[in-house]
Amino acid sequence: MESKTKSNKKGKWILLITGLILLGVLGGIPIVYLDQIQYWYELREHFDSLGKNNQGYPEYKHKKTGLVFVSLPGGKFMMGSEADEVGRYEGDESPVHEVEVSPFLIAKYEVSQEVWEKVMGFNWSNFKGKNLPIQAVTYKNCKEFCEKTGLSVPTEAQWEYACRAGTQTPFSFGKTINTDQVNFNGDYPLKGEPKGNYRRKTVPVDSMESNGFGLHHMHGNLWEWCIDYYQMDFYSTEEATKKDPVNTKEFHAAVLRGGSYGARAGDCRSARRHDENRRFPGGSFGLRPVWRSRDSAQQ
């Protein structure tokens, strides 16, 4: 009886969308509104609403995995780092350039071992625990996880937009970080800052301080794979300034972001780009997926 009710509801939604599309074709509804209608229909199909988080952003529970996502409005932001930013790497973080990203949903937490095992059937993590992040995964592993769940590996632009949460400082928390905020190697703080705790392991995905969007561990804990192939001078290319940029120029290495529990403070900056062979299951590599509607999803 329950499945029949769900089927009837889904049928009504399909009829409604079909009717609206016909109206749009006949000139009754602008195409931009039809795109928005499709987006919200697909959102309702794959997610349950959880209301707004403490930062005021809508949260949703992914029906297939149980992962919690935060809905981000998208928009323009400045990507990269200035030459005088403490801890920056020369070569691949400049020039600072304006980027526009479309609205998208991003996981509130890194994928936990519990969720990963249910989907993928294996767990290569060094530090075991249901609520600890999955680690030691390759680029290909992450793409397979996303293909099975209807999610996507984030682009570099999506990731940095989500990490910055409206800031332009080296970290979403300001000019520096400490080990009460971020799980990194406290023996290597930014120049001039005091040393902190070096835990030598990952911590639960829902622990420690969240950023301005309500996302946890955008700095530290684990490096997070992005879909982009790595290219040192990508920011100097025309592709980098297009809306929703992604580097599709195939290369053996892909991009990771965010730093890790063993990384120096400077490696956890919002602009830091790390490259690694796509086949390498690094012990400090993890995943934070995103979701966009079918028509707007990246590769």
Using a 10 angstrom Cβ sphere, with 0-12 exposed, 13-18 middle and 19 or more buried, the burial of residue 251 is middle
Q: What is the pLDDT of residue 176?
A: 97
pLDDT in tens, 239-282: 999 999 999 999 999 999 999 999 999 999 999 999 999 999 99
pLDDT at 297 over 90: no
The b/e string for 52-70 (b: 16+ C-beta within 10 A; e otherwise) is: ebeeebbbbebeebebbbb
Q: What is the pLDDT of residue 52?
A: 98
Alpha carbon distance 168, 146 (integer Å): 30
How many DSSP H helices and E strands does the chain contain?
5, 11
- Quick check: 67 and 111 in contact, CB under 8 A? yes
pLDDT in tens, 279-290: 999 999 999 999
Token pair, residue 286, equals: 């993890």
H-type helices in the chain, by residue range? Answer: 2-25, 31-46, 113-120, 139-149, 156-164
Q: Measuring CA to CA, which residue among 283, 260, 282, 268 is closest to residue 128?
A: 283
| pLDDT (mean) for 163-192 | 97
**Residue 148 pLDDT level (bands cut at 50, 70, 90):** very high
pLDDT at 182 over 70: yes
Alpha carbon distance 267, 259 (integer Å): 5
pLDDT at 35 over 80: no
Alpha carbon distance 113, 123 (integer Å): 7
- What count of other Cβ atoms lies within 10 Å of the Cβ of residue 260? 28
